[in-house]
Amino acid sequence: MNRCPGRWVLWAVAVLVGFPSVKGNETGQLLRSYLKREVNYVSEALKRGESELIVNGFAYHSHSSYSKAQLDRLNSEAWGVGFGRSFTDFDGNRHQVYAVGFADSHNRPEFHVGFNWLHPVLRHKYGLVVEVGFTAFFFLRKDSLLPSDYIPLPGLLPLVTIGGSRTKLNMTWIPRIGERLQGNVLYLCIMQSL
């Protein structure tokens, strides 16, 4: 059986696309159309996309959100590894599916399976590319805020990449959500085309 790390992400998106929109609801129809197109791009990425090695490595915890004692306990070296496949469409937008595992802020294993959409905003004549977009994913981690550990939860974060045609630095910002989810973390990883 051909196992694909993004297959269950495709399944989840396909279920969302399959929900009927409310009659006359243009927003629902636009969302369905967008999701169908993205499912096609994910399929293209999996079938004929470029393979990428993902190396996770750094998480900066904002000093304004954490006490000195908390910062001393938190892990900034979020080492891990993953694999991705990406496809660039006719408009130059990059669509990527990925699966990664890394050490979270408390040095416990965390796992993500997801999708990146990136739009180029700068292409320098020497090959430097800056892209902006988002990452949508499911993550699993040990968490004291949840009733059980390693429950798959959805996430959606902004994403910026800077790099050349084969190597890119990915950056995302994990915001603060309420009092218990302190967030305010800059997360970095490297993507290397294989």
> Do 35 and 71 fall within a single domain?
no
Q: Confirm whether 1 is domain-assigned.
A: no
**155, amino acid identity:** G
Q: 82 to each of 5, 60, 64, 122, 129, how far by Cα in Å?
A: 10, 20, 31, 26, 22
**157: CB partners within 8 A, 6+ apart:** 134, 135, 172, 173, 174
Q: What is the pLDDT of residues 52-89, one digit of tens each?
A: 999 998 999 988 888 899 889 988 998 999 999 999 98
Q: What percent of the chain has pLDDT over 70?
A: 83
Partners of 10 in the β-ladder: none
> Do 93 and 128 fall within a single domain?
yes
Q: Confirm whether 85 is domain-assigned.
A: yes
Q: What pLDDT does 147 receive? A: 66
> Do 78 and 162 fall within a single domain?
yes
Q: What is the pLDDT of residues 1-48, one digit of tens each?
A: 334 434 444 455 555 545 544 445 677 777 788 788 888 888 888 888
> Do 25 and 82 fall within a single domain?
no
- Rounded Cα distance, 116 and 136, in Å: 6
To 10 degrees, the CA torsion angle through 130, 135, 141, 145?
A: 110
Structural domains in the chain (count): 2
Q: Which residues are catalytic?
A: 61, 104-105
Q: Confirm whether 2 is domain-assigned.
A: no
